[in-house]
Structure 1
Amino acid sequence: MTSLLNWSAMLRRMKRALLPLLTLSLIASASAQQAKELRLGVFPNVTHAAGLVGVQRGLIQKNLPAGVKLVVKEFANGSQINEAFAAGAIDAAYVGPGPAMNAFMRGVPIQVYAGAANAGAVLVARKDSGVRNVKGLAGKKVAVPTRGSTQDISLRHLLHENGLKATDEGGNVTIVPVDPANMPALFAAKQVDAALVQEPWGAIMETQGARLIANEKAIWAGGNYTTTVLTVNTRYAAANPDSLRGLLRGHLAAIDFIKGSSAGTQKSVAEQIYAFTGKRPNTAELFKALSRTKVTWDINLKTLAEYAQLNREAGFARDVPDLNRFVNLDLIRSLAK
């Protein structure tokens, strides 16, 4: 009996001695597993101005933990972003709420941690197309960035409000998926009649002679709707909390810069769009594009819920997401204080 008690006491002493070593080992192991890079997806659009400025001015990299490298990947549309998230090729991305919702409901492990922009998309038409209003789109070809994009869903809603439907809904408006940076060339070649597109590509097409059919406020909800969110892979976020905080701090720093320096913002956005596409919007185009876009980390959850309904009505989802699981603004709110 005495030997058993001695053995039990010895085990307790060994446990107390080994526990600190075990804890240090687990911490070291967790540290070793933390990612050494953050792979971020961005579009060459003014609705992604926070990302473009954050990248071009080094604000995101500056806020990441020491030893974590920012790897920037350029994408043209939300479908490409969803494929990259599903393949594990990116850790975070600026993307429209439509594609993000659809990926989330298909089980892709992502969550929205911040807003990035409201409005910032317009409907334009070739001057020789004969289109002067939304009803004039009957029988026409209209470009959007990709099927199921935020702009595609917005266009279908506009069509329905004006008694029209897309051809895949039994109507006579042909919706054509086109990367935004390629839309000006398609207008020039008369391959499409109109486009619902993010800035600065709408402003660029206006410079080339396109007619503005609906500005950012006429697209939907008076312009008070989210067009871009900052989405992060939830597994990456859980394993790399310091990198997540750094990303959001860099995001906030970029938004502050945009609010404080119009000229600096135009320069940074132009430089990064040029780096991605080889096309540089001019000062007048960027001024117009930025005036149509509200750069903000906040999200209007009411209009986001309404947008989820539009996404379902458009046939891109069978249901609407649980916004309490899809959106988590707790960290960005605490950092923004």
Structure 2
Amino acid sequence: MKRTLIRSALLLSLTALAQSASAQGSSPQGATTLRLGYFPNLTHAPALVGLARGTFQKALGAVKLDARTFASGTTLSEAFAAGQIDVAYIGPGPAINGAARGLPLQFLAGAAEAGAVLVARQDSSVKAVRDLAGRVVAVPSLGNTQDISLRHLLREHRLSVGAPGGVTVIPIPPADIVAAFAGKRADAALVPEPWGAALQAQGHRLIGDEKTVWRGGRYPTAIVIVSRKFAQANPTAVKAFLGAHEGAVNFLNRSPAAALGLVNTQLEKLTGEKLNPRVLQRALTRTRFTAALDLAALREYADLNIEAGYARSVPDLAGLVWSR
């Protein structure tokens, strides 16, 4: 019931925001600014690399890049719905949910696969997924990619959410999860990298790696979306950004050591914490970067959205892909 009320409230809120953005016009013809949203996560490394190397701005030329960070897909979706963001790195969960609720978005590219792990607090008795019964598990935000993945994983292990003796799922931003574990506010967490590796480095227990979370690790963790209105009015800018994004992905795969240095520097600027290079390297081994969109995986993810109670139908995903 609680999740149904949350879903209904979000539906009304996002629909109203989308209608307002559509009426006002999210971007003028021949925009002079491209507003980019992203997270301070390793799974958004293409954004971090493109910003650190200046390749996004170089590709955009006279179009100014305005980059903004968000703590979760929920807050980014709200900004996108309000017409405050033109292009965004976001998890497939919020993107698909937004499309199902009428947000005027299109899929621009893939960004990262896997890169999410389930970690239990070291002083808890949780040693496997089955031990989560009656426990509190943190995710970045309710309805986000990790939340939906967690609910499916729990369902596979015949664990309920919210019922007496079941699992309690709470939202905690990834950058705050280390402090949350120290304060014993959660017994476990399904988090994107590098926060999973950071928790491990502190002695917390890995109980589900990126392969056991879902689909053997072959699932999208971050994709790139674009406002339909912005894309229609500014195809040249969108194409230029896409080319720079693909270049960032290639740099990550071709020069991982150099890329990780840039990523670590950017994460320190955004979170105030510089990670041990070994921690970041461990996180990298569990994350893959690709600009390709895996529609088959996205369709399966849309089904998980319905299973989790966050959506009622699957949108036409192929029809949402932006065409050059």
Give the TM-score normalised by structure 2: 0.89
Where 2:123 maps in the other structure, the secondary structure is helix
Match of 2:260 among 238, 256, 266: 266
Query: What is the rounded CA distance, in whole Å, between the counterparts of 2:110 and 2:165 in structure 1?
Result: 34
Work out whether 1:149 is the aligned partner of 2:152.
no
Deviations 1:112-133 (A, max 9, x none): 1100011000000011110111
The structure where helix makes up a greater share of residues is 1
Q: Deviations over 1:4-55 (max 9, x none)?
A: xxxxxxxxxxxxxxxxxxxxxxxxxxxx931111110010011111111111
2:102 matched to 1:107?
A: yes
Matches within 5 A, 1:105-254: 105-167=100-162, 172-254=166-248
Correspondence for 2:275 among 281, 299, 319: 281
TM alignment of 1:33-52, pairs within 5 A: 33-52=29-48
CA distance in 1, matches of 2:47, 2:300: 26
Tell me if structure 1 keeps the 8 A contact 2:134–2:164. no
User: Percent identical across equivalent pairs?
Assistant: 52
Q: Is the 8 A contact 1:42 1:75 kept in 2?
A: yes
**Per-residue Cα deviation, 1:115-152 (whole angstroms, up to 9, x for no partner):** 00110000000111101110010111100000001000
CA deviation map 1:62-102 (0-9, x unaligned): 111x3111111000100011110111111010000000111
Q: What is the deviation of 1:182?
A: 0.1
Q: Which runs of 4+ in 1 moved over 3 A?
A: none
Question: Is contact 2:43–2:193 with CA below 8 Å preserved after alignment?
Answer: yes
Shift of 1:171: 5.8
Alpha-carbon shift at residue 279 of structure 1 (Å)? 1.6
What residue ranges of structure 2 are gaps of 5+ in the alignment? 1-27
> Structure 2: how far apart are the matches of 1:165 and 1:299?
32
CA RMSD of aligned residues (A): 1.2
Moved more, 319-328 or 293-302: 319-328
2:52 to 42, 53, 56: 56
| TM-score after normalising by structure 1 | 0.86
Report if aligned partners of 1:224, 1:300 keep a CA contact under 8 Å in 2.
Answer: no
Query: Which residue, 73, 76, 93 being the options, matches 1:78?
Result: 73
Letter of the structure 1 residue corresponding to residue 75 of structure 2: Q
Q: Which residue of 1 aligns with 2:250?
A: 256
* Cα distance, 1:300 vs structure 2: 2.0
Amino acid at match of 2:128: N
> What residue is the counterpart of 2:314 in the other structure?
320
Structure 1 residue 109, shift from structure 2 partner: 0.8
Is the partner of 1:93 in helix, strand or coil? Answer: strand
Q: Aligned equivalents of 1:125 and 1:249: distance in 2? A: 39
Segments of structure 1 that go 5 or more residues without pairing to the other structure are: 1-31, 332-337
SS of alignment partner, residue 128 of structure 1: coil
Letter of the structure 1 residue corresponding to residue 63 of structure 2: V
Aligned equivalents of 1:237, 1:326: Cα separation in 2: 12
The answer as to whether partners of 1:120 and 1:294 remain within 8 angstroms in 2 is yes
- The Cα shift of 1:261 comes to 1.2
* Number of residue pairs aligned between Structure 1 and Structure 2: 297
Matched residue, 2:23:
none
